[in-house]
Amino acid sequence: MVVLCGAIVAPMLGGQRLGGIASPIHLPDPPQVGSCLLYPLASSDGDVLTEGTAVDAGYRPDTPEPTDPQPDAATAVFGPCGGQVAGEVVQVLQASGDVTARRAATAGSDGDCRAATFDYTGLLSLSRQIDRSRASPGAVRWVPAVNLRHVWIQPEPLQRAAGRTWLACVVTPTRPVRYTGSLAAAFAGGSLPSPFGVCWDEPDVSTAMTVVDCAQPHRSELVSVGVVADNFATNAADISGSCVRLASRVVGRNDPTADGTLRVALDPEQLAQRLHDGMTVDVTCFVTANAGRRLAGTLVGLGDRPIPFTL
């Protein structure tokens, strides 16, 4: 045993020494609510946790990028929100353990993430205003909509090895695109980035309509979908008036028709008959351009700015 130990230790004693001084590596700060995702992510199923990192603090969004951002990036990169971005953080939580434990944490927090999205975008405040303004319990229950998906992002392996345990819920457009502006308070006095709107190039609702990016020429934009709780406790006129009031809040102007250049519409058109027949009624409230004109931009949060008609 003595001879064997000597044979092992002797080469180590005479081994090569490396010079230098050990120093800690710099890890980027964890993302916070309101942090921005710089590049679009590849689509993935809900069981996948995307790995994320952050750019150097000296990054400037107005300088040329070292490489073209790919629409199918596998790693989430957080950075400044001043330029084009691909998503925003709405919730951050802590979850240690292995990948199974982290996935369980995200699955158990999906409802909280959706609630955080409602709060972050101003939809929560808008929904409360709608509930307070309902004329009767039988009036339509509106559910304002926004066109987004949620992605859960975890620290990259190096950060996890260093003890980082954050998990970030990020909202992105349903398509892998970049945008300017912010979702923050978009339905509470802010302005909605176009990729998050629901627009189509038809003057009405039909199974044949194709949803397009609201930055592209289109005829109509969704305000809200809803359901009538009690067919016999309301009528078509009350529901139509409710749609107009909701459109006024969403667009951010007293006259959502802009002196008749737009029309606030309700689907189905045979609403009165359906209510009379006692059928379950799902309704759609939307705004469409009159006289065959087309829009090129979302109307959500437009306020007193000019209607974004195409030339």
Q: At what angle do helices 236-251 and 123-133 cross, to 10 degrees?
A: 150
143 is a domain residue: yes
DSSP 151-167: EEEEE-HHHHHTT--EE
pLDDT on residue 64:
43
Q: Is the pTM of this model over 0.95?
A: no
C-alpha–C-alpha distance, residues 192 and 168, integer Å: 22
Find how far residue 268's CA is from the centre of its chain: 28
Let me know whether 131 and 98 are in one domain.
yes
Question: Same structural domain for residues 279 and 254?
Answer: yes
Domain boundary (167, 188, 209) is at 188
Q: Do 244 and 299 share a domain, yes or no?
A: yes
Q: Are 172 and 228 contained in the same domain?
A: no
Within a domain: 7: no
- State the Cα–Cα distance between residues 47 and 63, nearest whole angstrom: 35
Looking at the structure, tell me whether residues 165 and 226 fall in a common domain. Answer: no
Give the pLDDT confidence score for residue 47 in this predicted structure.
56
- Residue 230's domain comprises 197-311
* Angle at which helices 110-121 and 123-133 cross, to 10°: 80
DSSP summary character for residue 269: T
- Would you say the C-alpha torsion 133, 136, 137, 141 has a positive or negative sign? negative
Q: How many domains does the chain have?
A: 2
Contact 89, 34 (CB under 8 A): yes
Most distant CA atoms of the chain, gap in Å: 100
What is residue 131's predicted lDDT score, i.e. its pLDDT?
66
Has residue 14 been placed in a domain? no
How far is it, in rounded angstroms, from Cα 79 to Cα 85?
9
What does the pLDDT read at residue 7?
45
Q: How far is CA 150 from the centre of its chain?
A: 7
Residues 253 and 132 in one domain: no
Query: Where do we find the tokens 């995200």?
Result: 106
Tokens linked to 37: 């995702």
CA–CA distances in Å: residue 25 to residues 22, 153, 161: 10, 22, 12
| Domain final residue, candidates 130, 156, 188 | 188
Measure CA of the first residue to CA of the last residue in the chain; give whole Å: 91
Which of 157, 188, 219 is the endpoint of a domain? 188
**Residue 278 and residue 254 in one domain:** yes
197, 199, 204, 208 alpha-carbon torsion, rounded to 10°: -120
224 and 282 belong to one structural domain:
yes
Distance in angstroms (rounded) separating the CA atoms of residues 283 and 269: 9
Structure tokens at 253: 């102007």
Instruction: State the pairing for strand pair 50-54/75-79.
Output: parallel
For the chain, residues with pLDDT lower than 70 are 1-19, 22-23, 43-48, 55-73, 131-138
**143 near 187, Cβ under 8 Å?**
no
Same domain, 52 and 154: yes
Q: Would you state the pLDDT for residue 57? A: 46
Q: Return the SS3 of 56.
A: coil
- In angstroms, what is the C-alpha Rg of the chain? 26
pLDDT for residue 272: 82
Same domain? For 93 and 139 the reply is yes
Query: Residue type for 299, please?
Result: L
As to burial, measured by CB atoms within 10 angstroms (0-12 exposed, 13-18 middle, 19+ buried), residue 66 is exposed
Q: What pLDDT does residue 23 have?
A: 66
Whether 133 and 267 map to the same domain: the answer is no
Residue 20 covered by a domain: no
